[in-house]
């Protein structure tokens, strides 16, 4: 028997890779937010998409300057993920609160988060208004990561625990690699 889960429809598409997005204002003020709705959309040119709520400070800043970094955390950063996903940079300095430090990016103004294991530097290509979110389809200008956890283009999940968002306060970590027969 199937049950109606319309209320939670999007969670049928979880767990989702959970990332930290760093954005910047024209005056140079930084912000960081947790984002589960993210995906690659093209290899050539390299494009990703993130869906960001119109109410968030991050949405305002990305519309303002058109640049952001994607930072990939590990399990140790679960507390930081929660802080950056439940408070707004309009009210608090989440870098201080979540004890996150930054280093300059190679090509864009928003920095990367040192505590994360991988980084993408992104510049917005198209904005699509979709319900309460804006989908920022963005060019990936640079992508780099810690070499010991990503080998031959694949995450080494024995060495890294990647938090995936299940919904609410629940996360899952991939632990088993499989191949089709």
Residues engaged in binding ligand FMN (CB under 6 A): 18, 31, 33-37, 51-53, 56-58, 81-82, 85-90, 133, 165
Provide the token pair at 44. 């050539």
Q: What's the closest the beta carbon of residue 181 comes to ligand FMN, in angstroms? A: 34
Q: What's the closest the beta carbon of residue 177 comes to ligand FMN, in angstroms? A: 24
Residue placing its CB nearer to ligand FMN in the complex, 8 or 148: 8
Q: What's the closest the beta carbon of residue 38 comes to ligand FMN, in angstroms? A: 7
Q: Is 163 helix (H, G, I), strand (E, B) or coil?
A: coil
Using CA atoms, how far apart are residues 78 and 9, in angstroms rounded to an integer? 24
Residue placing its CB nearer to ligand FMN in the complex, 54 or 103: 54
Which helix (H) or strand (E) element contains residue 23?
Answer: strand 19-24
Residue placing its CB nearer to ligand FMN in the complex, 96 or 179: 96
3 state SS for 92-152:
CCHHHHCCCCEECCCCCCCCEECCCCEEEEEEEEEEEEECCEEEEEEEEEEEEECCCCEEC
Residue placing its CB nearer to ligand FMN in the complex, 88 or 146: 88
CB 74 within 8 A of CB 163: yes
Residue at shortest CB range from ligand FMN: 85
User: How are strands ordered across the β-sheet holding 164-167?
Assistant: 16-17, 164-167, 170-172
Task: Count how many Cα atoms sit within 13 Å of the Cα of residue 14 in the half-sphere of its side chain.
Answer: 20
Q: What's the closest the beta carbon of residue 83 comes to ligand FMN, in angstroms? A: 9
Q: Which residues contact residue 131 at a Cβ distance below 8 angstroms, ignoring those fewer than 6 apart?
A: none
Residue placing its CB nearer to ligand FMN in the complex, 9 or 180: 9
Q: What's the closest the beta carbon of residue 73 comes to ligand FMN, in angstroms? A: 10
């Amino acid at each position: 028997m199937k049950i109606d889960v319309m209320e939670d429809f999007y969670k049928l598409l979880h767990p989702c890779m959970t990332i930290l997005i760093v954005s910047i204002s024209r005056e140079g003020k930084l912000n960081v937010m947790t984002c589960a709705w993210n995906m690659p959309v093209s290899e050539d040119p390299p494009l990703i998409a993130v869906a960001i709520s119109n109410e968030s400070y991050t949405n305002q800043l990305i519309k303002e300057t058109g640049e952001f970094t994607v930072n990939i955390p590990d399990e140790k950063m679960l507390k930081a993920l929660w802080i950056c996903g439940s408070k707004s940079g309009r009210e608090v300095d989440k870098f201080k609160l979540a004890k996150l430090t930054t280093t300059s990016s190679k090509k864009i103004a928003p920095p990367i988060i040192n505590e994360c294991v991988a980084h993408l530097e992104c510049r917005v290509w198209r904005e699509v208004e979709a319900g309460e979110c804006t989908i920022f389809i963005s060019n990936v200008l640079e992508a780099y990561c810690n070499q010991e956890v990503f080998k031959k283009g694949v995450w080494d999940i024995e060495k890294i625990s990647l938090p995936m968002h299940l919904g609410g306060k629940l996360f899952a970590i991939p632990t088993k690699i499989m191949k089709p027969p």
